[in-house]
Amino acid sequence: MKLKSKYWIAAAFLAFALSCSSDPEGPVSQQFVDDGTYGVKGGDIHRVVLPVTAVTVSVPQGVGTGRLLILGRLQGIEYRAVLLKFDFTLKAEDVGKRISSARLHLPMQVATPREFRLPATFHEMYSTFSDTSSVTEVPPYDPVPIPDSLGMADDTLDIERTEYDIDTSFVNGWISGTREHKGIAIIWDAAAVTDSTISIEMKAREYGSDPPAVRVTFTDGTSATFGSIDDYSVAIFEEPGLNSVGGIARRVAFSYDPAGIPERAMVNAASLVLKVRGDQGFGGAIGEQLVIGYTALFNYYLYAPNSSDTLSSGFLKGTGVDQNVLDPMISRTIKLSLRGYMGDVLRNARANTGLVLQSNLEVFRIQRLSFVSGGADAPYIEIYYSLPADFGGAQ
Amino acid sequence: MRKRAFAAAFAAALILAAGSSAPTFAQSIYGINYIGEHAFPGSARYRALGLSSYALIDSSCAIPANPAAMADLTRVTFSLVEIMSVSNVRSGSESANVSRFQIPSVMFGVPVRKGLVLGFGYLTQFSGKGDFAFDYPIENGATAREIHRFRCGLFNVPLTVAWRPVPWARVAGAYRIERGSIENAYQVDFRKDLYSATESKRVRSFSGSSWSGSTLLNLHPRLQLGLGWNSGVSYEGDETFTYTRAEFDSVAAWRFDLTSAWEAGASFGINERWWVSGHFWQRSAPDTRGFEQLTGSIGDERLAALGIERRGGGEGGFFMRAPLRLGYYENRWHLEYPAGRPVDSRFITFGSGFGLPGGPGQVDLSLEFGQIGSAGNNGVDERVVRMAIGLSVAEAWSKRKVAR
């Protein structure tokens, strides 16, 4: 028992010592640092704001692989036309038959507002296209619309109708090969409609089922369907301001001058500070969200271009700096991190060619992210940096 | 049985060393300003006697204050001393509680023949640690955090020869490989997402060598005298500067010196069990080369210690048989803070010990209560409770007999 009591004394001694904890020593060491006795003085720590010049740069771009075809106007983006192209190859048993009626099948999905009716006309295209083309404006077409079976040219598109009569003579010509089929353009008169948020959305071939089609009935009572082989929504964006728009596309280029920051600065944080204009933001068409399930978040990509010349190809590519997602319809100040990038620029490891913000889904989706361009909320770069500690003597 | 005790003690040493290896270097808050706090080498018994037992014959410990005492070892002996401290530091209206550990000092003593012992091991000589941080307000309402980290450790590896040429005299000489490093790191951290810390760091690594000699004279069965001298050390090395921006990194030669030191001690027995001991140690002020900011703030260091011991007995209960130790010491630091005002440590010490069950060996414990610096004289004072545990185990080594 006596031996055990010795062990207990030693164990208690150790346990007491090992269970002790420490407080931060900062305040009680302050005077050693302040009066130089400690021998190490921290460097100054600063925040600096760099003014930024920002411009919107157009990068001609079109998206032909969307799963919905859209006509209308959404947050400044005008979906001016829908292009359709069909394969009119007949089955063997239909060769030689004549058409008694023809209808253009447009699988409507969403109308905004629901009761909206869009005046539109159908036109033969003068030039062909494909889904993989980058179509940035409405291609040339025959200004004389394709009439319906009654000879009427003007029609209205709405959510309740999916079949539209077209003149059988056009279809007979396309099927027989006597009339070259380069495509049909569905055109609406944007100038005649002043509403800012209107749209008709229909399934595209890429949706995977029930594509746009030309449905015909032959004189013998049989029928045939010719589905689309290419379809396209032609969108136009012409609004001023700082806009990063996917699909169209627009990128925002920022330039700045870091002069005045000390040569020995070590960057703790650097951010490109932007004020988002939620009232101009566009996360995607209603149908894209309700029918397809796309998110309305804007996926941005910030890069340092290889060239600051907006006309050179080097402007379009560069080194990634930051990427993330945000809601383009909420007004707020955002800070895009430049931490590693700015450190490289300040130590001359990277040329200062500015920064470019683009949609990371630029070739897939049409979205819009807009920023305040002037005044107190104009873009700027904020840098927090510290200077190396002063160890005295050689260093 | 003894072998098992020896193995257990060695394992305990490793565990203690591993357990203290992370936040190891540690002493007084004043230690951040120069090369740390002086750790006078010696056993836990030496500490319990207030660092006074320089002239003390001890045949069971391989870390005596006076290396000449090792000449009395008759077995291969392993000794370990671990020191821990808790303190309350006060500076003006601020205070902080601090706990610290120190890398254990370990020594082996190997008798090669009666009265001739070789010793080697690891002895911490100076150590210091500091982690402190301050807020740094910046425009726009932001606040950065300045974080300082100080680590300092000077140690030596002594190669000792202790000899007892005549029964009343012991002498020892030691060659010491001296090494050390001092690290000062400074970080700026905002502790926010998307902010990164920046760091500036200086690491001084240096080495040198020194000689020492000591003697322990048993002038009378109850009177022992000790004298010792340590040569100065010229440390040479470099200081490496590293920064978050690696292009600023640099290396420069660096050196500093410690001057020689001498010491003397005496012990006398009032009777068989009660002994009084005293010890004085001094080193003149080193040059401030390498620490230019301390010019005018480095003075002589000295230690004055007094202790009394009731040695262990064979009769009575546990507490009647157990040794009791009491001591007091004053250590004047090299550092003066502010210049011209020396930093003094004053400690009262207590302790005891008991034999290691199962074989030759000793476990010693000490408690020290004291104060380093004073608010009136230095502006900062530190109230310290320091604990030490010492362990010595021994094994008689002989040629293995081959069973036939």
- Are residues A307 and A342 both part of a single domain? yes
Give residue-wise pLDDT tens across range B31-51. 888 999 999 999 999 999 999
pLDDT computed for residue A71 by the predictor: 92
pLDDT computed for residue B24 by the predictor: 32
Interface A-B: count of C-beta contacts within 8 A: 187
Q: Give the CA count within 13 Å in the CB-facing half-sphere of B233.
A: 26
Please state the domain extents for chain B: 2-395
Give residue-wise pLDDT tens across range A35-78. 999 999 998 999 999 999 999 999 888 788 888 999 999 988 99
- Are residues A176 and A50 both part of a single domain? no
Residue of chain B nearest A29, judged by CA positions: B132
How far is Cα B29 from Cα B129, in angstroms, rounded to an integer? 8
CA distance B369 to chain A (A): 14
**Contacts for B10 with CB less than 8 Å, ≥ 6 apart:** B78, B393
- The count of other CB atoms within 10 Å of the CB of residue A53 is 12
- Are residues A230 and A263 both part of a single domain? no
Contact criterion met (CB < 8 Å) for A37 and B294: yes
| pTM summary value | 0.81
Average confidence score pLDDT of chain B: 89
Which CATH number is B2-395 given? 2.40.160.60
pLDDT computed for residue B68 by the predictor: 97
Could you give the residue ranges of the DSSP H alpha helices within B174-249? none
| Alpha-carbon distance values, B297 to A274, A391, B154, B345, B369 (Å) | 54, 18, 20, 17, 27
- Are residues A80 and A221 both part of a single domain? yes
- Are residues A342 and A205 both part of a single domain? no
- Are residues A289 and A332 both part of a single domain? yes
How far is Cα A23 from Cα B93, in angstroms, rounded to an integer? 15
- Are residues A324 and A189 both part of a single domain? no
Among A178, A205, A237, the domain boundary falls at: A237
Q: Which of A258, A263, A265, A260 is nearest to A386 (CA)?
A: A265
Q: Which of B402, B377, B390 is nearest to B9 (CA)?
A: B390
- Are residues A217 and A250 both part of a single domain? no
Judging contacts by C-beta atoms under 8 Å, the chain A residues touching residue B81 are: none
Among A181, A207, A237, the domain boundary falls at: A237
- Are residues A155 and A221 both part of a single domain? yes
Q: Which domain holds residue A220?
A: 68-237
How far is Cα B256 from Cα B182, in angstroms, rounded to an integer? 12
Question: Following DSSP, what letter does each residue of B64-126 receive, concatenated?
Answer: -SSGGGGGG--SEEEEEEEEEEEEEEEETTEEEEEEEE-PPEEEEEEEEETTEEEEEEEEEEE
Q: Which of A250, A304, A213, A233 is nearest to A82 (CA)?
A: A233
How far is Cα B366 from Cα B94, in angstroms, rounded to an integer? 30
Three-state SS at A342: helix
> Is residue A145 in some structural domain?
yes
From the list B148, B250, B389, the residue facing A40 with the nearest CB is B148
- Are residues A154 and A201 both part of a single domain? yes
Pair A319, A338: CB distance under 8 Å: no
Q: Which of B27, B311, B379 is nearest to A35 (CA)?
A: B379
- Are residues A259 and A225 both part of a single domain? no
From the list B32, B146, B365, the residue facing A42 with the nearest CB is B146
Q: Which of A374, A282, A267 is nearest to A330 (CA)?
A: A282
Query: Would you call A15 an interface residue with chain B, using a CB distance cutoff of 8 Å?
Result: no
Pair B216, B72: CB distance under 8 Å: no
Assign B20 a pLDDT band (cuts: 50, 70, 90).
Answer: very low
Least confident of A281-295, B62-76, B331-345: A281-295
8-state DSSP, A277: -
Contact criterion met (CB < 8 Å) for A395 and B202: yes
Judging contacts by C-beta atoms under 8 Å, the chain A residues touching residue B182 are: none
> Is residue A19 in some structural domain?
no
User: What is this model's ipTM?
Assistant: 0.85
> Is residue A7 in some structural domain?
no
User: In total, how many domains does chain A have?
Assistant: 2
> Is residue A18 in some structural domain?
no
> Is residue A220 in some structural domain?
yes
Contact criterion met (CB < 8 Å) for A32 and B357: no
From the list A32, A37, A389, the residue facing B186 with the nearest CB is A389
CA distance B266 to chain A (A): 30
- Are residues A179 and A292 both part of a single domain? no
Contact criterion met (CB < 8 Å) for A268 and B130: no
Give residue-wise pLDDT tens across range A307-347. 999 999 999 999 999 999 999 999 999 999 998 899 999 98
Pair B349, B375: CB distance under 8 Å: no
pLDDT < 70: residue spans in chain A: 1-26, 393-395
| Alpha-carbon distance values, B216 to B227, B266, B392 (Å) | 7, 9, 21
How far is Cα B325 from Cα B365, in angstroms, rounded to an integer? 10
Q: Give the CA count within 13 Å in the CB-facing half-sphere of A44.
A: 8
CA distance A187 to chain B (A): 48
